[in-house]
């Protein structure tokens, strides 16, 4: 997708939410969060996340935020904090070696602290 296409998708998402064209679900917020990060950057994505109603901040929204934070070494502290919040909220009740959140965080920690950090 081109940057212009993503910008138009973000604008359409914003318009549809403002006009209440449809009922907004948490997955809609998660998709828009990802678009905001891609088009406008992580700082704007952080602002958008804070504007999401508490009752819509479910696993899909937090997982999107976590993925955003794990893409850069500069935000690994935020990734770790988000991961802990997800655990506290009960989103990570089952531990699995194939859990994408756990894998993303471990991969980020290995990059930051070296391979031995995950063992």
Cβ neighbors of 78 (< 8 A, separation 6 or more) are: 69
Binning pLDDT at 50, 70 and 90, where does residue 105 land? low
SS3 72: coil
pLDDT in tens, 2-49: 778 877 877 777 777 777 777 888 999 999 999 999 999 999 999 999
pLDDT of residue 110: 61
pLDDT of residue 106: 57
pLDDT of residue 4: 80
pLDDT in tens, 53-104: 999 999 999 999 999 999 888 999 999 999 999 999 999 875 554 455 555 5
pLDDT of residue 98: 44
pLDDT of residue 69: 94
Q: What pTM value is reported for the model?
A: 0.72
């Amino acid at each position: 997708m081109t940057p212009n296409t993503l910008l138009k998708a973000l604008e359409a998402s914003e318009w549809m939410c403002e006009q209440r064209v449809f009922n907004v679900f948490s997955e809609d917020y998660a998709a828009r969060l990802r678009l905001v990060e891609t088009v406008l950057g992580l700082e704007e994505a952080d602002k958008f996340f804070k504007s999401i109603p508490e009752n819509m901040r479910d696993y899909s929204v937090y997982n999107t935020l976590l993925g955003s934070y794990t893409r850069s070494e500069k935000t690994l502290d935020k990734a770790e904090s988000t991961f802990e919040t997800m655990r506290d909220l009960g989103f990570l009740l089952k531990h699995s070696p194939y859990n994408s959140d756990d894998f993303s965080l471990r991969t980020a920690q290995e990059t930051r602290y070296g391979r031995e950090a995950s063992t």
